[in-house]
Structure 1
Amino acid sequence: MKPLHLIPDDVNVPFLKFRKLFYIVSLVMVLASAALFFTKGLNFGIDFRGGILVEIKTDGPADISGLRDNLGSLGLGDVSIQEFGAPDDVLIQLQRQDGDEKAQMAALATVTDALGENVTIRRSELVGPKVGSELKEAGFYSVVISLLLIMVYIWFRFEWQFAVASVVALLHDVVITVGFFVITGVQFDLATLAAVLTVAGYSINDTVVVFDRIREYLRKFRKMEIPDLLDLSINSTLSRTTMTSFTTLLALIALFTFGGEAIRGFTLALIFGIVIGTYSSICVASPLLIVLRLKRKIPEAEEGQEVKA
């Protein structure tokens, strides 16, 4: 039985021929995402903007629509209600109320009274604006530090051109993924932020595979032009890249479909991030090596003869 290949082993797509088109498409997506972020902004969850969180257990499957109508009529502002793991487990989120902690406690008591005695309150939390602000700051620093450490790792493993190209591609992925959440309005919380960092790790893994093949071919094909060598490297790893992305997406789509609301934002971020990360590994990171003037730094060898390190 032959192994499954989404892409034939002898594929020869001239990716570098279309690199200017890739640059334009990526630049438009990045600029649009940044513009939307600074004008419209993200739909931050309670983790970042503060508010009231209540987890309840109902007697039998929860009537989400009825709960939404009931709590929505209390005049407490935005109310988010979703299943949390099981049909009888519900997570209720309310925006932060005007006033001090007493106002938040009063709102929590109002919600508790409205729910009645047929539900069990498993937990209730108040997230203040200071905590939300600190989490935003911590989230920003976590992304920046992750990108810097990745750049240092690539710099030590390869040359500086590879490090710069990989970080540019990662910034490309992160900014566009954030732009996707601005456009869709899906809630952005700590779980979603974790997904964005996971996407960065997945993307750099794909990129390193291609970079390893480029370094190998730089030593093996001494006389080959750099654009042709980059095309050969991308095509030789294309089957592996697409198969990895395909199988990962199958698992994520199953989680998105059957995992419930509690992890929907997380899996949606991963699904979009995997797609954009695969695109950047193929169409952004490697072509950028041309712009950064990648050169060989190895002894001369005949074409087709491998040079020992």
Structure 2
Amino acid sequence: MIRLFANANYDFIKWRRWAFSLTGAIMLVGLGFLVARGLNYSIEFTGGTLVQVELAHRVPTANIRTALDNVGLQGADIQNFGSDTSYVVRARLGAEAAQGEAGTQAVADAVARALDQSAGPGQYQILRREAVGPKVGRELQGKALAAILVSFVVTLVYLAFRFEWRFGLAAVVATAHDVVATIAFISVMHLEVSLVVVGAVLTVVGYSLNDTIIIFDRVRENLRKYRRQNLYEILNLSINETLPRSVLTHGTTIATTLALLILAGEVIRPFAWVMSFGIFTGTFSSIYIAAPVLLWIEKRWPGEDARGARTFGVRAPATPAMSAPPTTPPSSPSPRAPQPAR
């Protein structure tokens, strides 16, 4: 596979307008789902009840989840806590549960009915129950959004210092595309937004930035190396040179996330979905968003490149007016000094 792309010479930038149109259409559909349906927040963001239980014997998590669905606690989060027989159940406050202590008790009673079905009467003990208020959920939402925004600012500052502000702006645009596309994907798939999913989104941000920085670093090297080529050609060359590395890295990561999708449980599966989509959209944006945006920025606001030696160029006419150096008339030979008469 790596040898297949070892001498790649594809004109990626040529298809930038088609790529913009395709990703724009897909994102419009995703944003339509986001506006119409919204996001499916977990109790960590909306508020709910936490119940810790200890079972007399091990019961499969899938059996407990089915029993919780039967008693009206759909979408409850179930996790092992310390041992195979200790579980923490997080459930939303449903219609049957009022706010406050009465609501917490109602959810605990529903969990007890579910355990009667799955583990058997008298085969469990409820160790604690407590409420998770929506105020905590709003605070978590704010922190998650702040983490994404801080990553944008740090990226812009780092790339502006490491390369140039044009590189940083192009990388931030590509990363913002990935975040919006991933959130739209979460809405379309109706995945539950938990702290695990927020962690997956932040991982996608880092993954996309890493891929973009690798391409931009190669762009900077090639700008120093090939002084006569314009930016259009340099971008294509740099993408093709990093293609074998991208295929290897993304292929192995996709294989891992697909294994999680197939083999992992309900808790980790949303993380695997988001990571699988994020790897795809991160690779796409590094090639078809970041690079074309850099080309557009340099066309709009031309400036010196990373060498500080010449202005970035875009695809030029076949015979540019300024391509040939100015010619100077040949200097006439200096007259020979007269020889003294003998």
Q: Which residue of 2 aligns with 1:306?
A: none
8 Å contact kept, 1:218–1:296:
no
| 2:228 is the counterpart of 1:223 | yes
- Following TM superposition, by how much is the alpha carbon of 1:35 offset from its aligned partner in structure 2, in angstroms? 3.3
- Separation of aligned partners in 2, 1:29 and 1:89: 44
Q: Which residue of 2 aligns with 1:307?
A: none
Under a length normalisation based on structure 1, what TM-score does the superposition of the two structures give? Answer: 0.85
Q: Which residue of 2 aligns with 1:80?
A: 76
- Separation of aligned partners in 1, 2:167 and 2:100: 51
Q: Which residue of 2 aligns with 1:256?
A: 261
Classify the secondary structure of the residue corresponding to 1:94.
strand
- Following TM superposition, by how much is the alpha carbon of 1:131 offset from its aligned partner in structure 2, in angstroms? 0.9
Q: Which residue of 1 aligns with 2:105?
A: 106
- Following TM superposition, by how much is the alpha carbon of 1:255 offset from its aligned partner in structure 2, in angstroms? 2.8
Alignment of 1:171-182 (within 5 A): 171-182=176-187
Q: Which residue of 2 aligns with 1:303?
A: none
Q: Which residue of 1 aligns with 2:18?
A: 21
- Following TM superposition, by how much is the alpha carbon of 1:167 offset from its aligned partner in structure 2, in angstroms? 0.4
Q: Which residue of 1 aligns with 2:309?
A: 299
1:29 partner letter? I
Classify the secondary structure of the residue corresponding to 2:6.
coil
The count of corresponding residues between Structure 1 and Structure 2 is 295
- Following TM superposition, by how much is the alpha carbon of 1:158 offset from its aligned partner in structure 2, in angstroms? 1.0
1:239 to 1:125, Cα distance in 2 relative to 1, 3 A? farther
Aligned-residue Cα RMSD (Å) equals 2.5
Q: Which residue of 1 aligns with 2:44?
A: 47
Under a length normalisation based on structure 2, what TM-score does the superposition of the two structures give? Answer: 0.78
- Following TM superposition, by how much is the alpha carbon of 1:292 offset from its aligned partner in structure 2, in angstroms? 0.5
| 2:174 is the counterpart of 1:169 | yes
8 Å contact kept, 1:44–1:188:
yes
- Following TM superposition, by how much is the alpha carbon of 1:62 offset from its aligned partner in structure 2, in angstroms? 2.8
2:138 partner letter? S
Q: Which of 1 and 2 has greater Rg?
A: 2
| 2:179 is the counterpart of 1:183 | no
Q: Which residue of 2 aligns with 1:305?
A: none
8 Å contact kept, 1:84–1:260:
no
Classify the secondary structure of the residue corresponding to 2:5.
coil
8 Å contact kept, 2:93–2:107:
no
1:99 to 1:83, Cα distance in 2 relative to 1, 3 A? closer
- Separation of aligned partners in 1, 2:162 and 2:248: 25
Classify the secondary structure of the residue corresponding to 1:292.
helix
Alignment of 1:1-309 (within 5 A): 5=2, 7-56=4-53, 58=55, 59-62=57-60, 64-65=62-63, 67=64, 70-72=67-69, 74=71, 78-80=74-76, 84=80, 92-97=89-94, 99-114=98-113, 115=115, 116-121=121-126, 124-293=129-298, 295-297=303-305, 298-299=308-309
Uncovered stretches (5+) of structure 1, i.e. residues with no partner: 301-309
- Following TM superposition, by how much is the alpha carbon of 1:78 offset from its aligned partner in structure 2, in angstroms? 3.7
1:193 to 1:123, Cα distance in 2 relative to 1, 3 A? farther
1:203 partner letter? S
1:8 partner letter? F
8 Å contact kept, 1:42–1:181:
yes
- Separation of aligned partners in 2, 1:203 and 1:215: 19
- Separation of aligned partners in 1, 2:166 and 2:60: 55
1:274 to 1:89, Cα distance in 2 relative to 1, 3 A? farther
